């Protein structure tokens, strides 16, 4: 097949450990000599060299692709493996690893090629294969409905000449002299694959038969690690096979036991039913007795209340007051001690807080433990019962008609009934339900829909003559809408009973709104609510990474008609495409967020609420929607899909790279400063930068000698500023001496990790609507130090997801997605010089703390957005240079800076638009607020 960049050029990330490429990188190891077959344009070769530090030799059929791959390979051979022998190409060479990623299925005689591997592998060498699974449930399902056709990509790529099940691949490897040593797989639900259309034609029971009949049914691709045949290797393989057979026998035996248990339980249930009937009668009698007792207790309560009043006024009660306070305080400290995790937990948390923030950090930690008074705050079920806000009667000045769009197709009858009833039972009555059935083949669906139309005149039904998929069906529903606003609803989900009231109430408060969205949660088949998604207010950068609006979304009807409704061809991402086009027509204050759970995703096996992160067909549609959005808005950017279910946006740098002026204030601290500057000089790939070291009165001879050495470099200058330490003043003065168009504020205790950190941050900072750009900063122990700044956290502001372990995604992936924040730390901050000067730089009244927060808020007040990116990563050896705030003078200054911030920004500190009021401000971990900071109108 002729080389085409779109087919072969892809990106490989070490972070995507669950992808095929990520698993292969994990199996290869570090520092290996690798032979990669079918290296194409070198995507894997590049990753092996950069991430695994391997020496790569490549073999590629296409000369054009091979020419590109030369940049990443020590040597490359252009050869057709159907006609060329590997032992001829490499007669005297041996390799630690041979990779055949998606290769053997293309070969005429794969076993013959694999047999050459044994001669080319070193003594401890091994081979790695990846290949599609022909026993994949999506393929079996397609065959079940009489469909089998090749395509340009995917499992049934038209260039594939061989297909393998796990058993067949193991047999071919053994025949070639290789023994499977490790088996990995990439799994994908058929409903998220290219076979979704055929899969959806199967009944639920047919799907279950396919899935349960084969333990590998959801395996999309196999990844095998194999070693040359040897007694030990074969013995290990046979033991694995015996273990697998033993597990299967155990599973079969367990199923038989389960069946016997079920039969026994049915008998028990019949007996229990009889017992419950008797208990019901007894409870009825007890209920009557309790009613009489309740009346008696009410009378006794009134008597005790009167007696209590007399006691409180007595002299003895006043005299014993101090003793009661001592007892209460002791119980309170015992409660804090328990919440900190006992002696060990309190000790570990105290040491970490001291290392980070000194005595202030310890005190703040105790305050946070004290604030967690409601032990059920981590339990969403109890939290919802305690704080779910139902408005008492509240008159609205207007009652806009809201048209709810509901496309249906062969819907589950029980779930569909629940969905429609959730509309009928709305506390706000001025709505219409526009149902468009997309030619359902199940007559009971139409029967149920017609019954609802007869039941309520506000329900309208359009039955399409032919199936047109979700976009066409949604447009059919839209054509019936008579309301000023339309709301989107899926056919198996539920509206909260006050959902439409809150929409009408919001429109009364914000009448210019063109698009409204809400928070959401999931509801199980048994009615259990879980996984609340408490979202930020409109956050453009976050929205470009994934459709966090999702549900419940309301759009002004004239707007959706103006942009042409839903676009066919974007199925799977039709809502995302619609919202992108809507956002282009609206200002930020016309996109309104209701911080309440108004929508319940039904979580079941067929729902995207179960697995939203792995949906290739939807990702392709979403990527195209983004590309067209970039074209329409003239944004020079590209979207890269991540297997975790979101996009990374790459902002294109101009041909002439602007100079970046990196400002580093310091006072002695030679080792930290040297580490910082060495990491910049050795790792930074951005070519056009200068470093300005602001020496705030260094005295140590070694430091001064180091400054002399740095001064000899053409892109480094030393500024001497001996004023008393004032972080804001030092940086403001340094900015006046810069030559760059872009400023980078950098602490001297920062160490670069990502070589492309400046490319990433500058690309964002050059966007006209962007103000400051922040980076992802890690503590040396690889826990998160800075993931953006949240206003109000801990009183004034704090860092999002602080202390989050390195491999954790954070709340709904927010610790690893580009997004807007109200503020970011100046420990590493990039901004255009003109913007810095337009807001008069850092406020020098804030000498140490919060000057970056105040700076960012003022930038935001000027109409810019401050953004944070996880793709610029640096270590932050926090507080190592200046020490802790642990002297009376420092603590007094810190308290004064807190007072300054609260006086200037008090209202905003209580309502950060980048943070949901249902989440706590007592800690950095996005747990539930008890109580939430959301008001209920009276």
Tokens of 219: 């395996």
Tokens of 853: 């927060």
Tokens of 685: 């790939």
The Cα 547–Cα 629 span in angstroms is 14
Q: What is residue 594's predicted lDDT score, i.e. its pLDDT? A: 97
- pLDDT greater than 70 at residue 919: yes
- With contact defined as beta carbons under 8 Å apart, do 668 and 693 qualify? no
Q: What is residue 247's predicted lDDT score, i.e. its pLDDT? A: 53
Lowest mean pLDDT among 221-230, 305-314, 548-557, 723-732: 305-314
Q: What is residue 513's predicted lDDT score, i.e. its pLDDT? A: 98
Q: What is residue 326's predicted lDDT score, i.e. its pLDDT? A: 43
Q: What is residue 3's predicted lDDT score, i.e. its pLDDT? A: 36
Mean of the pLDDT values across residues 358-377? 46
How do residues 567-619 score in pLDDT, each as one tens digit?
999 999 999 999 999 999 999 999 999 999 999 998 765 555 444 344 467 88
- pLDDT greater than 50 at residue 7: no
- With contact defined as beta carbons under 8 Å apart, do 923 and 368 qualify? yes
Tokens of 768: 């006209």
- List, in order, residues 6 or more apart from 107 with CB less than 8 Å away: 81, 82, 113, 161, 162
CATH number of this structure's domain 660-909, picked from the four choices 3.90.550.10, 3.30.720.200, 3.90.1150.10, 3.40.50.300: 3.90.550.10
**Angle 760-744-792 from CA coordinates, rounded to 5°:** 90
Q: What is residue 613's predicted lDDT score, i.e. its pLDDT? A: 45
Mean of the pLDDT values across residues 526-552? 94
What are the structural domain ranges in the chain? 5-229, 342-376, 398-571+578-613, 660-909
> Please, what is the end-to-end C-alpha distance for the chain in angstroms?
69
- pLDDT greater than 80 at residue 264: no
Tokens of 496: 């909260």
- Any idea what DSSP says for residue 334? H
How do residues 106-133 score in pLDDT, each as one tens digit?
999 998 899 999 999 998 899 999 999 9
The Cα 93–Cα 77 span in angstroms is 14
Q: Which residue has the tokens 């704090």?
A: 798
Better pLDDT: 257 or 901: 901
pLDDT tier at 300, thresholds 50, 70, 90: low
- With contact defined as beta carbons under 8 Å apart, do 834 and 847 qualify? no
Q: What is residue 527's predicted lDDT score, i.e. its pLDDT? A: 86
The Cα 162–Cα 152 span in angstroms is 16
- List, in order, residues 6 or more apart from 242 with CB less than 8 Å away: none
Q: What is residue 535's predicted lDDT score, i.e. its pLDDT? A: 98
CA proximity to 877, closest of 592, 636, 667, 669 = 669
Q: Please state whether beta strands 55-60 and 33-37 pair in parallel, antiparallel, or not at all (unpaired).
A: parallel
Tokens of 554: 């309301």
Q: Which residue has the tokens 């080792």?
A: 671
Do 5-229 and 660-909 share a fold? no
3-state DSSP percent of the chain in helix, strand and coil, to 5: 45, 20, 35
Whole-prediction pTM value? Answer: 0.64
* Most confident option among 3-12, 626-635, 708-717: 626-635
- With contact defined as beta carbons under 8 Å apart, do 694 and 665 qualify? yes
CA proximity to 365, closest of 342, 343, 339 = 339
pLDDT tier at 313, thresholds 50, 70, 90: very low
Residues 595, 601, 607, 609: is their CA dihedral positive or negative? Answer: positive
In the structure, how many helices (H) and strands (E) does the chain have?
A: 31, 30
Better pLDDT: 539 or 265: 539
3-state secondary structure of 618: helix
Tokens of 738: 């810069």
How do residues 851-866 score in pLDDT, each as one tens digit?
999 999 999 999 999 9
Mean of the pLDDT values across residues 904-932? 93
How do residues 319-341 score in pLDDT, each as one tens digit?
444 443 444 344 444 444 444 44
Q: Please state whether beta strands 716-720 and 689-695 pair in parallel, antiparallel, or not at all (unpaired).
A: parallel
pLDDT tier at 784, thresholds 50, 70, 90: very high
Strands (E), 573-688: 591-603, 637-642, 646-651, 660-666
Q: What is the largest CA-CA distance in the chain?
A: 106
Helices 20-28/43-51 angle, 10° precision: 40
* Most confident option among 30-34, 150-154, 630-634: 630-634
DSSP string spanning 342-390? HHHHHHHHHHHHHHHHHHHHHHHHHHHHHH---GGGG-HHHHHHHH---
HEC-encoded secondary structure of 798-848: EECCCCCECCCCCHHHCCCCCEEECECCCCEEEEEHHHHHHCCCCCCCCCC
The Cα 155–Cα 102 span in angstroms is 10
How do residues 86-96 score in pLDDT, each as one tens digit?
999 999 899 99
Statement: 5-229 belongs to CATH 3.40.50.1360: no
Q: What is residue 763's predicted lDDT score, i.e. its pLDDT? A: 98
The Cα 636–Cα 772 span in angstroms is 19
pLDDT tier at 314, thresholds 50, 70, 90: very low
pLDDT tier at 372, thresholds 50, 70, 90: very low
Q: Which CATH architecture has domain 398-571+578-613?
A: Alpha-Beta Complex (3.90)
Q: What is residue 334's predicted lDDT score, i.e. its pLDDT? A: 42
Mean of the pLDDT values across residues 535-564? 96
Q: Which residue has the tokens 């020079």?
A: 636
How do residues 662-702 score in pLDDT, each as one tens digit?
999 999 999 999 999 999 999 999 999 999 999 999 999 99
How do residues 425-453 score in pLDDT, each as one tens digit?
999 999 999 999 999 999 999 999 999 99
Q: What is the mean pLDDT of the chain?
A: 85
Better pLDDT: 225 or 937: 225
- pLDDT greater than 70 at residue 377: no
Burial annotation 449-486 (CB, 10 A radius, 16+ → b, else e): beebeeeeebbbbebbeeebbbbbbbbbbbebbebebb
Q: What is residue 315's predicted lDDT score, i.e. its pLDDT? A: 47
Q: Please state whether beta strands 591-603 and 515-524 pair in parallel, antiparallel, or not at all (unpaired).
A: parallel
H or E stretch including 771? Answer: strand 770-778
Quote the percentage of the chain above a pLDDT of 90.
63
Tokens of 2: 């002729």
Quote the percentage of the chain above a pLDDT of 70.
80
pLDDT tier at 912, thresholds 50, 70, 90: very high
H or E stretch including 303? Answer: helix 231-312
Tokens of 458: 């506000």
Mean of the pLDDT values across residues 345-372? 50
The Cα 639–Cα 541 span in angstroms is 12
pLDDT tier at 734, thresholds 50, 70, 90: very high
**Angle 686-688-690 from CA coordinates, rounded to 5°:** 110
H or E stretch including 248? Answer: helix 231-312
- pLDDT greater than 60 at residue 393: no
């Amino acid at each position: 097949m002729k080389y085409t960049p779109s087919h072969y050029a892809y990106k490989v990330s070490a972070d995507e450990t669950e992808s095929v490429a990520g698993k292969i990188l994990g199996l290869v190891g570090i520092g290996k000599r690798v032979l990669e077959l079918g290296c194409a344009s070198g995507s894997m070769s590049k990753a092996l060299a950069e991430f695994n530090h391997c020496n790569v030799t490549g073999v590629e059929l296409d000369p054009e692709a091979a020419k590109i791959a030369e940049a990443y390979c020590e040597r490359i051979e252009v050869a057709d493996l159907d006609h060329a022998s590997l032992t001829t190409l490499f007669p005297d060479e041996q390799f630690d690893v041979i990779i055949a990623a998606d290769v053997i299925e293309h070969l005429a005689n794969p076993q013959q090629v694999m047999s050459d591997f044994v001669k080319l592998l070193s003594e401890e060498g091994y081979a790695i294969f990846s290949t599609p699974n022909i026993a994949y449930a999506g393929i079996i399902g397609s065959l079940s409905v009489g469909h089998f056709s090749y395509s340009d990509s995917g499992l049934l790529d038209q260039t594939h000449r061989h297909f393998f099940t796990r058993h067949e691949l193991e047999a071919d490897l053994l025949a070639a002299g290789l023994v499977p040593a490790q088996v990995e797989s990439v799994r994908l639900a058929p409903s998220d694959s290219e076979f979704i259309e055929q899969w959806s034609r199967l009944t639920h029971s047919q799907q279950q038969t396919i899935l349960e009949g084969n333990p590998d049914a959801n395996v999309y691709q196999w990844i095998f690690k194999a070693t040359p045949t040897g007694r030990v290797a074969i013995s290990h393989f046979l033991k694995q096979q015996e273990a697998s057979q033993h597990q299967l026998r155990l599973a079969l035996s367990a199923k038989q036991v389960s069946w016997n248990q079920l039969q026994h339980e049915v008998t028990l249930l019949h007996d229990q039913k009889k017992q419950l009937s008797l208990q019901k009668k007894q409870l009825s009698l007890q209920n009557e007795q309790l009613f009489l007792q309740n009346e008696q207790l009410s009378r006794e309560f009134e008597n005790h209340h009167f007696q209590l009043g007399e006691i409180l006024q007595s002299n003895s009660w006043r005299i014993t007051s101090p003793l009661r306070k001592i007892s209460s305080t002791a119980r309170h400290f015992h409660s804090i001690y328990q919440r900190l995790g006992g002696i060990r937990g309190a000790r570990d948390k105290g040491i970490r807080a001291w290392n980070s923030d000194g005595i202030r950090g310890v005190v703040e930690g105790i305050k946070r433990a004290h604030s967690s008074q409601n032990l059920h705050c981590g339990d969403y079920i109890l939290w919802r019962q305690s704080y779910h806000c139902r408005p008492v009667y509240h008159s609205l000045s207007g009652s806009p008609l809201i048209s709810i769009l509901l496309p249906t197709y062969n819907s589950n009858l029980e779930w569909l009934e629940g969905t429609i009833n959730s509309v009928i039972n709305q506390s706000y009555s001025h709505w219409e339900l526009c149902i468009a059935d997309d030619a359902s083949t199940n007559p009971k669906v139409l029967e149920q829909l017609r019954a609802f139309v007869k039941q309520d005149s506000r329900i309208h039904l359009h039955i399409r003559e032919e199936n047109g998929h979700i976009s066409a069906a949604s447009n059919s529903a839209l054509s019936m809408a008579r309301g000023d606003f339309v709301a989107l609803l899926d056919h198996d989900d539920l509206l909260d009973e006050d959902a439409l009231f809150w929409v009408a109430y919001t429109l009364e408060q914000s009448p210019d709104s063109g698009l409204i969205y809400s928070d959401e949660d999931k509801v199980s088949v048994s009615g259990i609510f879980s996984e609340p998604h408490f979202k930020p207010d409109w956050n453009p950068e976050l929205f470009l990474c994934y459709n966090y609006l999702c549900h419940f979304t309301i759009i002004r009807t004239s707007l959706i008609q103006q942009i042409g409704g839903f676009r066919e061809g974007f199925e799977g991402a039709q809502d995302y495409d619609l919202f992108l086009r809507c956002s282009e027509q609206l200002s930020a204050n016309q996109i309104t967020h209701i911080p309440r759970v108004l929508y319940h995703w039904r979580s079941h096996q067929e729902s995207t609420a179960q697995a939203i992160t792995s949906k290739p067909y939807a990702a392709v549609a979403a990527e195209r929607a983004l590309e067209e959005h970039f074209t329409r808005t003239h944004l020079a950017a590209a979207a890269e899909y991540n297997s975790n279910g979101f996009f990374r946006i790459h902002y294109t740098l101009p041909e002439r790279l602007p100079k970046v002026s990196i400002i580093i204030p310091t006072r002695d601290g030679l080792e930290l400063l040297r580490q910082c500057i060495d990491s910049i000089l050795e790792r930074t790939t951005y070519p056009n930068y200068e470093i300005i070291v602001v020496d705030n009165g260094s005295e140590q001879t070694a430091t001064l000698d180091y400054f002399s050495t740095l001064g000899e470099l053409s892109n480094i200058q030393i500024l001497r500023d001996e004023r008393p330490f004032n972080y804001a003043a030092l940086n403001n003065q340094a900015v006046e001496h810069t030559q760059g168009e872009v400023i980078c504020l950098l602490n001297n205790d920062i160490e670069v990790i990502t070589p492309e950190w400046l490319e990433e941050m500058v690309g964002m900072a050059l966007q006209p609507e962007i103000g400051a750009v922040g980076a992802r900063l890690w503590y040396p122990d690889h826990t998160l130090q800075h993931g953006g700044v949240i206003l109000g956290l801990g009183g004034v502001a704090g860092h999002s997801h602080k202390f989050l372990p390195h491999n954790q995604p954070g709340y709904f992936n927010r610790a690893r997605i580009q997004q807007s924040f109200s503020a970011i730390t100046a420990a590493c901050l990039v901004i255009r010089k003109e913007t810095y000067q337009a807001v008069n730089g850092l406020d020098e009244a804030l000498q140490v703390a919060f000057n970056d927060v105040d700076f960012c808020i003022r930038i935001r007040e000027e109409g810019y957005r401050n953004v944070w990116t996880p793709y610029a990563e640096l270590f932050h050896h926090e507080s190592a240079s200046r020490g802790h705030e642990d002297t009376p003078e420092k603590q007094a200054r810190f308290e004064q800076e807190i007072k300054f911030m609260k006086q200037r920004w008090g209202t905003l500190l209580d309502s950060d638009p980048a943070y949901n009021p249902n989440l706590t401000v007592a800690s950095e971990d996005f747990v539930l607020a008890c109580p939430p900071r959301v008001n209920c109108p009276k």
